[in-house]
Amino acid sequence: AELESKPAVFAVEEVEPLRGANLGGWLIPEKDFTTVASRASLCELPRGSNASFWQRMEAHIDGWIGEEHFDWMVGKGINAVRLPLGWWDVLRPHELPNPGSGAAWGEMAPGPAPALRAIRRLLDWAEARGVVVLLDLHGAPGGQNGKEHSGCAGRAEWHRYSIDNSLAVLRRLMDEVGEHPALWGVEL
């Protein structure tokens, strides 16, 4: 069939520019951002092997970012924040449809319950102040690049099955917070 040529019809609106801040180091403890990170990767500190680290991670999540930080950011003109997170902040390993078997596929701190509570709290603080939030799946299932922020330094086990795993994480994330008014987008 022959394609018809029709002009596109769209509206052009002026939008407020985004002025953002990165909340890296909050849900993914990167050595460059936070003192809670140790020399080990998250995958090297599984639940049961280092209970004090898991407790420190939960305390870090509960106390590192607060409403006062949002007040300060808004006072400086910030109207958008980016929150990097790992797949382990949304799902447990057994909830992945096609998990691998290496260390990059294990349960990592802090786990979904405290992380999802923190994400909801952050979205509420943002909404109350007119700030939008970009959630960044910075650590995809299996580790996409072998860097510490992917959960397991030195291991990049993201493979063809990881597409299904990544989509499962995103589906759960959207089930949990997808309708929140402060959610501006999701970055992969």
pLDDT digits (tens, 9 = 90+) for 34-43: 555 555 666 6
86 three-class SS: strand
**Burial class of residue 169 in the structure, from the number of CB atoms within 10 Å of its CB (0-12 exposed, 13-18 middle, 19+ buried):** buried
β pairing state of 132-139 and 80-86: parallel
Verdict on whether the full-model pTM lies above 0.85: no
Predicted local confidence at residue 34, as pLDDT: 53
- The answer to whether residue 167 scores a pLDDT higher than 60 is yes
Contact 47, 92 (CB under 8 A): no
Contact 83, 133 (CB under 8 A): yes
For residue 104, the tally of other CB atoms under 10 A from its CB is 28
Q: What pLDDT digit, counting tens, does each position of 16-31 carry? A: 899 999 998 888 876 6
Q: Give buried/exposed letters for 38-54 (b at 16+ CB in 10 A, else e).
A: eeebbbbbeeeebeebb
What integer is the mean pLDDT of 126-154?
Answer: 85
- The answer to whether residue 105 scores a pLDDT higher than 70 is yes
Predicted local confidence at residue 32, as pLDDT: 56
- The answer to whether residue 80 scores a pLDDT higher than 50 is yes
- The answer to whether residue 53 scores a pLDDT higher than 50 is yes
Confidence of residue 5 (pLDDT cuts 50, 70, 90): low
Q: At what angle do helices 112-128 and 67-75 cross, to 10 degrees?
A: 40
**In the Cβ-directed half-sphere of 76, how many Cα atoms lie within 13 Å?**
12
Predicted local confidence at residue 1, as pLDDT: 47
- The answer to whether residue 162 scores a pLDDT higher than 70 is yes
What integer is the mean pLDDT of 112-131?
Answer: 95
For residue 132, the tally of other CB atoms under 10 A from its CB is 18
CA distance 169 to 187: 12
